[in-house]
A and B are shown apart, each in its own frame.
Chain A
Amino acid sequence: AQKVTQAQTEISVVEKEDVTLDCVYETRDTTYYLFWYKQPPSGELVFLIRRNSFDEQNEISGRYSWNFQKSTSSFNFTITASQVVDSAVYFCALNPGSSNTGKLIFGQGTTLQVKP
């Protein structure tokens, strides 16, 4: 089965707190790609990061960082020093296989609320 699970439905933090959004995936493919998207209250989907299955290096982009661990099939996303503008729904997604067919398998999403 190919599946993405985001067990945290909603998270609420106070501004400047660090927060980690969990993502666990299932696939039998040895080559695959993982993504994170942000959906702000305005509704559009904003691409954040893409990671392939052969690259387990953690990545940092400003206040955002991602921890990819194949051993636990997890691709977690951390926001450091959260801000009100980070309030959004965050989706983790899986592109199984080495071929692009325009198919993504999404998790259920985590709603993050950052309070001032």
Chain B
Amino acid sequence: NAGVTQTPKFQVLKTGQSMTLQCAQDMNHEYMSWYRQDPGMGLRLIHYSVGAGITDQGEVPNGYNVSRSTTEDFPLRLLSAAPSQTSVYFCASSYRASGGYEQYFGPGTRLTVT
């Protein structure tokens, strides 16, 4: 059971380039989310999904695109990278546990846009 996996771990992009951050989970969780972490700001929700084929925007969705064609995968696409997207990106998945909802986080992807 690998949990939540993210690839790549590190990435450097030039302004204007596009790329996809991969996220996969093998726990059959319905819910998956993408967050970005910036110094002094905690984690902020970018996009989330409550099941295959269903996605919605979070707090900071601009410049990012997502799709959820399978339960297992939830890729995050940067359409045209900007320096403001330099951040650490975390993917998470969750299910409804007794008494609440526990989110499992991937190890993160550190992205630098120059």
8 A Cβ contacts from B27-43 to A: 31-33, 35, 40-43
Q: How large is the interface on B (under 10, 10 to 19, 20 to 34, 35 or more residues)?
A: 20 to 34
Q: Do A101 and B107 have beta carbons less than 8 Å apart? A: no
A109 to B41, CA, bound (A): 8
How far, in Å, is B109 (CB) from chain A's closest CB? 10
How far, in Å, is A45 (CB) from chain B's closest CB? 4
How far, in Å, is A17 (CB) from chain B's closest CB? 25
Q: How large is the interface on A (under 10, 10 to 19, 20 to 34, 35 or more residues)?
A: 20 to 34
Q: Do A100 and B31 have beta carbons less than 8 Å apart? A: yes
Q: Do A100 and B94 have beta carbons less than 8 Å apart? A: yes
Q: Do A44 and B107 have beta carbons less than 8 Å apart? A: yes
Collect the chain A residues with CB atoms within 8 Å of residue B33's CB. Answer: 102-104
Interface residue? A41 (CB, 8 A): no
A6 to B43, CA, bound (A): 13
How far, in Å, is A11 (CB) from chain B's closest CB? 15
Q: Do A102 and B42 have beta carbons less than 8 Å apart? A: no
Collect the chain A residues with CB atoms within 8 Å of residue B93's CB. Answer: 102
Interface residue? B113 (CB, 8 A): no
Q: Do B99 and A103 have beta carbons less than 8 Å apart? A: no
A29 to B78, CA, bound (A): 33
> A109 and B42 in contact (CB under 8 A), knowing A45-B90, A101-B50, A102-B33?
yes
Closest A-B pairs by Cβ, 9 of them: A102-B31, A106-B42, A100-B101, A45-B105, A33-B100, A106-B43, A102-B33, A50-B100, A102-B48
